[in-house]
Amino acid sequence: MEATEAEAGTDWSIQDVARIAGTTSRTLRHYDDIGLLKPSRVGSNGYRYYNSGALLQLQRILLLRGLGLGLPAIAEVFQHETDAVKALSRHLDWLRQEQERLARQVLSVQQTIATVKGGGELMAERMFDGFDHTQYKDEVEERWGKEAYAKSDAWWRGMGADQKQAWKARAGKLGSDWIAAAGSGLAADSAEAQDLARRHVEWLTSIPGTPASESGGDVRGYVMGLAEMYVADPRFAANYGGEAGAGFVRDALRVYAERNL
Protein backbone atom coordinates (compact mmCIF):
# COMPACT_ATOMS: atom_id res chain seq x y z
CA MET A 1 0.00 0.00 0.00
CA GLU A 2 2.78 2.44 0.92
CA ALA A 3 4.60 1.83 -2.36
CA THR A 4 1.44 2.39 -4.35
CA GLU A 5 0.81 5.73 -2.63
CA ALA A 6 4.37 6.91 -3.17
CA GLU A 7 4.32 5.89 -6.83
CA ALA A 8 1.25 8.03 -7.39
CA GLY A 9 3.57 11.03 -7.62
CA THR A 10 1.62 13.07 -5.09
CA ASP A 11 4.36 13.18 -2.46
CA TRP A 12 8.02 12.56 -1.73
CA SER A 13 9.73 10.67 1.07
CA ILE A 14 11.70 12.56 3.68
CA GLN A 15 14.92 11.15 2.22
CA ASP A 16 14.03 12.38 -1.26
CA VAL A 17 13.11 15.85 -0.01
CA ALA A 18 16.35 16.12 1.98
CA ARG A 19 18.36 15.16 -1.10
CA ILE A 20 16.50 17.46 -3.50
CA ALA A 21 16.55 20.47 -1.14
CA GLY A 22 20.15 20.00 -0.04
CA THR A 23 19.24 19.57 3.61
CA THR A 24 19.04 16.58 5.99
CA SER A 25 16.31 14.29 7.22
CA ARG A 26 17.24 15.31 10.75
CA THR A 27 16.57 18.98 9.90
CA LEU A 28 13.21 18.12 8.37
CA ARG A 29 12.24 16.12 11.44
CA HIS A 30 13.20 19.11 13.61
CA TYR A 31 11.01 21.41 11.50
CA ASP A 32 8.18 18.94 12.09
CA ASP A 33 8.81 18.81 15.83
CA ILE A 34 8.58 22.60 16.20
CA GLY A 35 5.55 22.87 13.94
CA LEU A 36 7.31 24.78 11.17
CA LEU A 37 6.95 22.15 8.43
CA LYS A 38 4.57 19.25 8.90
CA PRO A 39 4.69 16.30 6.49
CA SER A 40 1.58 15.88 4.37
CA ARG A 41 1.21 12.34 5.69
CA VAL A 42 2.99 9.78 7.82
CA GLY A 43 2.99 6.19 6.58
CA SER A 44 2.11 3.18 8.70
CA ASN A 45 5.83 2.51 8.97
CA GLY A 46 6.38 5.97 10.49
CA TYR A 47 7.99 7.45 7.37
CA ARG A 48 7.21 11.08 6.60
CA TYR A 49 5.99 12.10 3.15
CA TYR A 50 5.70 15.60 1.70
CA ASN A 51 3.39 16.89 -1.03
CA SER A 52 3.87 19.93 -3.28
CA GLY A 53 2.37 22.26 -0.67
CA ALA A 54 4.93 21.12 1.88
CA LEU A 55 7.73 21.64 -0.65
CA LEU A 56 6.49 25.19 -1.21
CA GLN A 57 6.65 25.79 2.53
CA LEU A 58 10.17 24.34 2.65
CA GLN A 59 11.30 26.62 -0.16
CA ARG A 60 10.11 29.64 1.82
CA ILE A 61 11.89 28.38 4.94
CA LEU A 62 15.18 27.98 3.08
CA LEU A 63 14.86 31.41 1.47
CA LEU A 64 14.25 33.06 4.83
CA ARG A 65 17.10 31.13 6.41
CA GLY A 66 19.27 32.48 3.61
CA LEU A 67 18.31 35.98 4.71
CA GLY A 68 19.57 35.20 8.20
CA LEU A 69 16.28 34.62 9.99
CA GLY A 70 16.07 32.27 12.94
CA LEU A 71 13.35 29.64 13.14
CA PRO A 72 11.15 31.59 15.62
CA ALA A 73 11.26 34.60 13.30
CA ILE A 74 10.32 32.42 10.31
CA ALA A 75 7.36 31.03 12.22
CA GLU A 76 6.26 34.61 12.90
CA VAL A 77 6.56 35.47 9.20
CA PHE A 78 4.40 32.48 8.26
CA GLN A 79 1.78 33.51 10.80
CA HIS A 80 1.38 36.93 9.20
CA GLU A 81 2.10 36.08 5.56
CA THR A 82 -0.23 33.27 4.60
CA ASP A 83 -0.22 34.09 0.88
CA ALA A 84 2.75 32.03 -0.32
CA VAL A 85 2.69 33.40 -3.88
CA LYS A 86 2.73 37.01 -2.67
CA ALA A 87 5.56 36.29 -0.25
CA LEU A 88 7.61 34.41 -2.84
CA SER A 89 7.13 37.25 -5.31
CA ARG A 90 8.80 39.62 -2.84
CA HIS A 91 11.60 37.11 -2.34
CA LEU A 92 12.01 36.90 -6.10
CA ASP A 93 12.35 40.67 -6.45
CA TRP A 94 15.08 40.71 -3.82
CA LEU A 95 16.87 37.69 -5.31
CA ARG A 96 16.91 39.26 -8.76
CA GLN A 97 18.51 42.39 -7.35
CA GLU A 98 21.11 40.29 -5.56
CA GLN A 99 21.66 38.24 -8.72
CA GLU A 100 22.38 41.37 -10.72
CA ARG A 101 24.74 42.72 -8.07
CA LEU A 102 26.62 39.41 -7.76
CA ALA A 103 26.88 39.05 -11.54
CA ARG A 104 28.57 42.46 -11.66
CA GLN A 105 30.95 41.42 -8.90
CA VAL A 106 31.83 38.17 -10.68
CA LEU A 107 32.59 40.01 -13.91
CA SER A 108 34.65 42.60 -12.04
CA VAL A 109 36.79 39.96 -10.32
CA GLN A 110 37.20 37.99 -13.54
CA GLN A 111 38.47 41.13 -15.27
CA THR A 112 40.89 41.82 -12.41
CA ILE A 113 42.30 38.27 -12.58
CA ALA A 114 42.70 38.44 -16.34
CA THR A 115 44.42 41.84 -16.09
CA VAL A 116 46.85 40.71 -13.40
CA LYS A 117 47.70 37.50 -15.26
CA GLY A 118 48.29 39.44 -18.45
CA GLY A 119 50.48 42.01 -16.76
CA GLY A 120 48.11 44.81 -17.69
CA GLU A 121 47.22 47.95 -15.81
CA LEU A 122 44.35 47.72 -13.34
CA MET A 123 41.45 50.08 -13.97
CA ALA A 124 39.96 51.27 -10.68
CA GLU A 125 36.67 52.09 -12.37
CA ARG A 126 36.22 48.43 -13.31
CA MET A 127 37.53 46.79 -10.15
CA PHE A 128 34.65 47.76 -7.89
CA ASP A 129 31.60 47.31 -10.08
CA GLY A 130 28.97 45.57 -7.99
CA PHE A 131 30.57 46.72 -4.75
CA ASP A 132 29.04 50.19 -5.02
CA HIS A 133 27.50 51.57 -1.82
CA THR A 134 25.98 54.37 -3.89
CA GLN A 135 23.29 52.15 -5.41
CA TYR A 136 20.57 54.22 -3.69
CA LYS A 137 22.07 57.57 -4.75
CA ASP A 138 19.13 58.66 -6.93
CA GLU A 139 16.58 57.69 -4.27
CA VAL A 140 18.41 59.54 -1.52
CA GLU A 141 18.78 62.68 -3.62
CA GLU A 142 15.13 62.56 -4.63
CA ARG A 143 13.90 62.15 -1.06
CA TRP A 144 16.34 64.33 0.88
CA GLY A 145 18.35 66.36 -1.64
CA LYS A 146 21.78 66.21 -3.24
CA GLU A 147 23.47 67.81 -0.25
CA ALA A 148 22.27 65.02 2.02
CA TYR A 149 23.72 62.40 -0.29
CA ALA A 150 27.00 64.31 -0.73
CA LYS A 151 27.52 64.54 3.05
CA SER A 152 26.80 60.90 3.72
CA ASP A 153 28.91 59.81 0.75
CA ALA A 154 31.88 61.87 1.93
CA TRP A 155 31.46 60.47 5.44
CA TRP A 156 31.49 56.88 4.14
CA ARG A 157 34.45 57.37 1.82
CA GLY A 158 36.38 59.06 4.63
CA MET A 159 36.23 56.03 6.89
CA GLY A 160 38.93 53.41 7.05
CA ALA A 161 38.29 49.71 6.41
CA ASP A 162 38.04 48.91 10.13
CA GLN A 163 35.59 51.77 10.69
CA LYS A 164 33.41 50.62 7.81
CA GLN A 165 33.44 47.06 9.12
CA ALA A 166 32.47 48.23 12.60
CA TRP A 167 29.62 50.30 11.21
CA LYS A 168 28.34 47.35 9.16
CA ALA A 169 28.58 45.10 12.22
CA ARG A 170 26.56 47.61 14.25
CA ALA A 171 23.89 47.76 11.56
CA GLY A 172 23.86 43.96 11.25
CA LYS A 173 23.49 43.48 15.00
CA LEU A 174 20.63 45.95 15.10
CA GLY A 175 18.88 44.11 12.26
CA SER A 176 19.29 40.69 13.90
CA ASP A 177 18.04 42.05 17.22
CA TRP A 178 14.94 43.43 15.49
CA ILE A 179 14.28 40.07 13.83
CA ALA A 180 14.67 38.23 17.14
CA ALA A 181 12.35 40.67 18.91
CA ALA A 182 9.70 40.38 16.20
CA GLY A 183 9.92 36.60 16.33
CA SER A 184 9.54 36.48 20.10
CA GLY A 185 6.10 38.07 19.98
CA LEU A 186 7.01 41.29 21.80
CA ALA A 187 4.57 44.17 21.64
CA ALA A 188 5.73 47.22 19.69
CA ASP A 189 5.33 49.41 22.77
CA SER A 190 7.14 47.03 25.13
CA ALA A 191 10.25 48.22 26.95
CA GLU A 192 12.44 45.87 24.91
CA ALA A 193 11.05 47.06 21.58
CA GLN A 194 11.33 50.69 22.62
CA ASP A 195 14.96 50.20 23.61
CA LEU A 196 15.58 48.82 20.12
CA ALA A 197 13.80 51.83 18.65
CA ARG A 198 16.06 54.13 20.69
CA ARG A 199 19.14 52.35 19.38
CA HIS A 200 17.78 52.57 15.86
CA VAL A 201 17.24 56.32 16.07
CA GLU A 202 20.72 56.79 17.57
CA TRP A 203 22.11 54.80 14.65
CA LEU A 204 20.24 56.99 12.15
CA THR A 205 21.47 60.19 13.79
CA SER A 206 25.06 58.96 13.43
CA ILE A 207 24.88 59.16 9.63
CA PRO A 208 25.83 62.64 8.37
CA GLY A 209 23.56 64.26 5.83
CA THR A 210 20.30 62.72 6.99
CA PRO A 211 17.53 64.85 8.49
CA ALA A 212 18.05 62.89 11.70
CA SER A 213 21.61 64.17 12.00
CA GLU A 214 20.98 67.82 11.13
CA SER A 215 20.33 70.42 13.80
CA GLY A 216 16.73 71.53 13.50
CA GLY A 217 15.90 68.71 11.09
CA ASP A 218 12.56 66.93 11.09
CA VAL A 219 13.81 63.88 12.95
CA ARG A 220 10.35 62.63 13.78
CA GLY A 221 9.13 62.90 10.19
CA TYR A 222 12.30 61.29 8.89
CA VAL A 223 12.11 58.33 11.27
CA MET A 224 8.43 57.69 10.62
CA GLY A 225 8.94 58.04 6.86
CA LEU A 226 11.78 55.51 6.91
CA ALA A 227 9.69 53.17 9.04
CA GLU A 228 6.96 53.13 6.39
CA MET A 229 9.55 52.56 3.66
CA TYR A 230 10.90 49.52 5.50
CA VAL A 231 7.53 47.87 4.99
CA ALA A 232 6.78 49.16 1.49
CA ASP A 233 10.15 48.33 -0.10
CA PRO A 234 11.10 44.60 -0.09
CA ARG A 235 14.80 45.52 -0.28
CA PHE A 236 14.54 47.11 3.15
CA ALA A 237 11.96 44.69 4.54
CA ALA A 238 14.42 41.86 3.89
CA ASN A 239 16.73 43.36 6.53
CA TYR A 240 14.05 42.72 9.15
CA GLY A 241 12.85 39.30 8.07
CA GLY A 242 10.27 40.34 5.50
CA GLU A 243 7.09 42.36 5.64
CA ALA A 244 5.95 41.07 9.03
CA GLY A 245 9.25 41.89 10.73
CA ALA A 246 9.43 45.27 9.03
CA GLY A 247 5.90 45.97 10.23
CA PHE A 248 7.02 45.35 13.81
CA VAL A 249 9.97 47.73 13.35
CA ARG A 250 7.65 50.37 11.87
CA ASP A 251 5.17 50.11 14.72
CA ALA A 252 7.89 50.28 17.39
CA LEU A 253 9.56 53.30 15.73
CA ARG A 254 6.19 55.03 15.40
CA VAL A 255 5.54 54.61 19.11
CA TYR A 256 9.04 55.83 19.96
CA ALA A 257 8.72 58.85 17.64
CA GLU A 258 5.38 59.85 19.10
CA ARG A 259 6.69 59.59 22.64
CA ASN A 260 10.17 61.03 22.28
CA LEU A 261 10.67 63.03 19.07
3-state DSSP call for residue 138?
helix
Q: What pTM, to 2 d.p., does this model score? A: 0.45
- Hey, what amino acid is at 70? G
Q: How far apart, in whole angstroms, are the C-alpha atoms of residue 69 and residue 161?
A: 27
Residue 35: band (very low, low, confident or very high) from pLDDT cuts 50, 70, 90: very high
User: In Å, how far are 9, 31, 162, 236 from 36, measured between CA atoms?
Assistant: 24, 5, 39, 25
Whether the Cβ atoms of residue 76 and residue 220 lie closer than 8 Å to each other: no
Q: How far apart, in whole angstroms, are the C-alpha atoms of residue 123 and residue 100?
A: 21
Whether 4 has a pLDDT exceeding 70, the answer reads no
Closest C-alpha to 210, from 157, 140, 142: 140
Whether the Cβ atoms of residue 131 and residue 168 lie closer than 8 Å to each other: no
**Model pLDDT for residues 83-113, shown as the tens digit of each residue:** 777 777 777 776 776 677 677 667 777 777 7
Q: How far apart, in whole angstroms, are the C-alpha atoms of residue 226 and residue 203?
A: 13
Question: Checking DSSP bridges between strand 48-50 and strand 12-13, what pairing results, if any?
Answer: antiparallel
3-state DSSP call for residue 50?
strand
**Model pLDDT for residues 40-64, shown as the tens digit of each residue:** 999 888 889 999 889 989 998 888 8
- Map out the domains of the chain with their CATH numbers: 2-66 (1.10.1660.10), 135-260 (no CATH)
